[in-house]
């Protein structure tokens, strides 16, 4: 398998992107009906799940602990990561106060609340230290319950990437920096000893060659407000 290439099984298991693209309700309905059900063996891929933040627009609520259909967001996203990428290690970037399933890898930037770029940087370095054979990292947010499916769609759309440093998800003109794939060697070359505290995630990705690829909007919908949460509870 090429270093940054999804398997043919991954590409063929997803419906064509034109049937899953953002736009109208019928297209999103198509995406709902075509959520990937298969799993993909990508042992060179590690996943960084961003689960920190303060949830200010949710009244300070802990986003990972929000529930959909009786399941906490963090448990739901972790389960979907395990189902979709069973051979890929996942690290949750979150405070120690977050209760996680037994055996879940966890880390946090030091000092805490350094921003999402610091979380990503801490996450991939944590994984590489423990899994030195990794060549690719996927970043996804805990507040998008179908983020693992978005990452799978991004892999399918971006494969093969040849000399690019990775890929970033997009829906129409909207970029999704928290749904990104990056080569470990590109990250190491740029950030091996850098201080990225309080850096925006867009700025963090800027030095890397990250072409964008369209993924289904339904897969990227996140929860920032009480209204978002109510809507997700209707559809998920």
pLDDT in tens, 111-156: 888 999 999 999 999 999 999 999 999 999 999 999 999 999 999 8
CB-based contact 132:61 (threshold 8 Å):
no
pLDDT in tens, 89-98: 999 999 999 9
Q: Which of 46, 34, 135 is nearest to 85 (CA)?
A: 46
* Gap between the Cα atoms of 28 and 97, Å rounded: 36
60 versus 189: the higher-pLDDT residue is: 189
Kindly state the DSSP code that residue 19 receives in the 8-state scheme: G
Burial class (CB in 10 A: 0-12, 13-18, 19+), 128: middle
- Alpha helices (H) along the chain: 8-13, 25-33, 73-84, 116-130, 147-158, 184-191, 201-205, 217-220, 226-235
Structure tokens at 139: 């970043």
CA 143 distance to own-chain centroid = 10
């Amino acid at each position: 398998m090429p270093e940054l290439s999804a398997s043919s099984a991954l590409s063929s298991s997803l419906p064509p992107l034109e049937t899953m693209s953002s736009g109208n309700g019928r297209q999103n309905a198509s995406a709902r009906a075509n959520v990937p059900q298969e799993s993909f063996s990508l042992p060179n891929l590690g996943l960084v799940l961003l689960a920190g933040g303060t949830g200010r627009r949710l009244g300070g609520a802990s986003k990972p602990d929000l529930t959909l259909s009786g399941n906490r967001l963090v448990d739901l996203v972790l389960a979907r990561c395990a189902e979709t990428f069973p051979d890929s290690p996942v690290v949750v970037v979150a405070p120690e106060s977050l209760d996680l399933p037994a055996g879940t890898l966890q880390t946090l930037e030091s000092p805490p609340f350094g921003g999402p770029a610091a979380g990503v940087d801490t996450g991939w370095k944590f994984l590489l230290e423990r899994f030195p054979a990794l060549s690719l990292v996927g970043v996804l947010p805990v507040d998008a319950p179908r983020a693992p499916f978005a990452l799978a769609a991004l892999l399918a759309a971006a494969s093969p990437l040849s000399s690019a440093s990775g890929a970033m998800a997009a829906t129409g003109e909207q970029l999704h920096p928290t749904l990104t794939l990056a080569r470990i060697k590109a990250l190491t070359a740029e950030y091996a000893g850098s201080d990225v505290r309080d850096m925006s995630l867009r700025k963090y990705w800027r030095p890397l060659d990250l072409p964008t690829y369209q993924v289904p909007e339904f897969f990227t919908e996140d929860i920032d407000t009480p209204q978002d949460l109510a809507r997700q509870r209707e559809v998920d």
